[in-house]
Amino acid sequence: MNQKQLDILGHTHQLFMEKGYVDTSVQDILERSGISKGTFYKYFSSKSELLLLLLSSLQESLILQREKVAIEYRGDNQKGFQEQLIFMLNFAEQNKIPEMIESTLVLNEVKTFHYIEELKAATFNWIYERFQQIFPSKTSPYLFDGAVLLEGMLNNMFKMNKALDYPLPIEQIVRYCMKRTEEIIIEVAEQKEQLFNPSVYSAIFNKKTESHFSTDLTRVTAKLKRVIENKLTNEEERKRSLEFVTFISDELLQNDKEPRTFIIQSSLLSLEKINTLAQTKELEEYKEVVTLLTKND
């Protein structure tokens, strides 16, 4: 996105936080951004496309910052995981992400619905993967159940917390839920009591990401952008690379139009010609996801 598009996205984010997605009209966005209807439709096909771009941008930022938290607590995986959860929940609250997501439930926008569903699935998948890094290998068969319990506990605790006149701090809720989850995991591992088979979920998750629009795009985009920022010393190359990556995301995030596959492929080829990027695993993973999504579209 160019600076004008970023400015419109920023104004739209503020409106969605103030009024909600459903109650914000395109006219509201025009007035807040100080642009004409023609300018709006030059850059965006619809309000729902703006929502997808916004959620993708926020998720990308969340992933990058979440990884920085993990690096800060590298010596203590368990502490690092708790701090990552605290950061994520604070980030979601500050940006009113749950409210934006809830407000879309009444809409019949298929791509938006699938993106939000996969956003939730990706978050759960991350919790389950982190559990496998935190807990002893002997508890492995019971960690999927533990991830389900933690996510359910957090969701319900936060719903209750919002209803209180004096809400509890996010940190206190996370630490309480994590402690209870640890106790349960240890107990069920001792009793060898497994409820869900993780391999079943894995099959469902993989099938879903192959058949619908995938949050994998956000994940691999964040990783590739980090490589571009850190490894490309040539300012012109860095700027050009980021433009190609941003263009591809914009094309795939459109709600109302088919992505222009031939231009996306041309952008990928241009990225491959940049020597510093060409041999990186991040670019390879990025190409795989983009190719899958363009093939499905």
Q: What is the pLDDT of residues 175-201, one digit of tens each?
A: 999 999 999 999 999 999 999 988 877
80: in domain: yes
Q: Please state the domain count of the chain.
A: 2
231: in domain: yes
> What's the mean pLDDT when you consider all of the chain?
86
204: in domain: yes
pLDDT reported for residue 212: 45
- Do residues 121 and 154 share a domain? yes
Predicted confidence band of residue 255 (pLDDT cuts 50, 70, 90): low
| Residue 139 three-state SS | helix
- Do residues 195 and 227 share a domain? no
16: in domain: no
Q: Which of 13-17, 40-44, 252-256 has the highest mean pLDDT?
A: 13-17
- Asked which of 164, 188, 211 is the last residue of a domain, the reply is 211
C-alpha dist (Å) from residue 165 to 18, 87, 89, 162, 271:
21, 23, 19, 8, 52
- Asked which of 189, 211, 233 is the last residue of a domain, the reply is 211
- Do residues 106 and 221 share a domain? no
d(C-alpha 245, C-alpha 267), whole Å: 8
- Do residues 153 and 229 share a domain? no
Over range 140-168, report the average pLDDT: 91
- Do residues 142 and 63 share a domain? yes
What does the angle CA 138 – CA 88 – CA 182 come to, to the nearest 5 degrees?
Answer: 25
2: in domain: no
pLDDT reported for residue 213: 47
19: in domain: no
pLDDT reported for residue 226: 78
- Do residues 233 and 187 share a domain? no
Q: Residues of the chain with pLDDT > 90: what percent? A: 37
The answer, yes or no, to whether residue 84 has pLDDT greater than 70, is yes
- Do residues 254 and 189 share a domain? no
Nearest to 174 by CA among 231, 216, 127, 133: 127
CB 238 within 8 A of CB 138: no
30: in domain: no
The answer, yes or no, to whether residue 205 has pLDDT greater than 90, is no
Range in 11-20, 101-110, 188-197 the model is least confident about: 101-110
pTM above 0.75, yes or no: no
| Residue 182 three-state SS | helix
pLDDT reported for residue 210: 42
- Do residues 225 and 119 share a domain? no
- Do residues 261 and 173 share a domain? no
Range in 61-70, 75-84, 121-130, 217-226 the model is least confident about: 217-226
191: in domain: yes
pLDDT reported for residue 224: 87
Residues whose CB falls within 8 Å of the CB of residue 40, separated by 6 or more in sequence, listed in order: 8, 26, 29, 30, 33
190: Cα separation from own chain's centroid: 35
Range in 106-120, 230-244, 281-295 the model is least confident about: 106-120
- Do residues 120 and 259 share a domain? no
d(C-alpha 192, C-alpha 206), whole Å: 27
Predicted confidence band of residue 108 (pLDDT cuts 50, 70, 90): low
- Do residues 65 and 78 share a domain? yes
- Asked which of 179, 211, 243 is the last residue of a domain, the reply is 211
- Do residues 149 and 72 share a domain? yes
Over range 201-218, report the average pLDDT: 59
Range of the domain at 251: 216-296
Q: What is the pLDDT of residues 134-152, one digit of tens each?
A: 999 999 999 999 999 999 9
d(C-alpha 194, C-alpha 176), whole Å: 23
